[in-house]
A and B are shown apart, each in its own frame.
Chain A
Amino acid sequence: DADVTQTPRNRITKTGKRIMLECSQTKGHDRMYWYRQDPGLGLRLIYYSFDVKDINKGEISDGYSVSRQAQAKFSLSLESAIPNQTALYFCATSDPGRGDNQPQHFGDGTRLSIL
């Protein structure tokens, strides 16, 4: 089983719909992140959380919200989806307890299309 699991893997929906992307992890990491990836732009940080109920905005948080009700789960919501939110979304985790060199571990991604 994957350590970082994202659901759904693919989603097509219409403008104005509310969408929730789920991320769960079995790694026991405190830190969790949501990114989006667009062609030619690389990964951009949307929100991140360092602990349960800790929420921090990333580079591009407008139009998104998140919830961290448990250590293992971090959900991303689009309250009213718009076409320019069409992208590949990744959840990631990291372990803060091992010094500065902290890699992040990614889920398989969610491909989201807003029509």
Chain B
Amino acid sequence: RKEVEQDPGPFNVPEGATVAFNCTYSNSASQSFFWYRQDCRKEPKLLMSVYSSGNEDGRFTAQLNRASQYISLLIRDSKLSDSATYLCVVNMFSSNTGKLIFGQGTTLQVKP
């Protein structure tokens, strides 16, 4: 089993749609969780951290379910500019070692 698993997609949605991605992780001691966005052939950029209580940033909502060991990302009112690959990232260690494990990414294509 991969340490961090994501459905690679692609998810093809129309503008204005709501889309959700899930990501599962294997180490129950993981402490830190993030969603990164990566555009084609570009560097990953932090989209948002994921907090235990869930958090929202504009059209983006992240949730953490420790019992089931998954995190989710919800995008409301999709824009063409949201088309990208979304990387689920987990700190797999219980201490602050700063080592992150990246999922392979979920590709989103928003169509006009």
Contacts and interface: CB of A to CB of B under 8 A. Distances in A.
B29 to A, nearest CB: 12
**Interface residue tally of chain A, by bracket?**
20 to 34
A102 B100 CA distance: 9
B57 interface: no
A18 B4 CA distance: 33
B8 A106 contact: no
B10 to A, nearest CB: 13
Nearest to B96: A100
A71 interface: no
A102 B8 contact: no
Interface stretch (A36-44, A61-69, A77-85): A36-44
Given A42-B87, A108-B42, A109-B43, A102 B98 contact: yes
A42 B100 contact: no
Nearest to B88: A42
Interface in A53-100: 58, 88, 90, 94, 96, 99-100
10 contacts: A41-B104, A42-B102, A48-B98, A48-B99, A96-B96, A100-B31, A101-B32, A101-B49, A104-B46, A109-B43
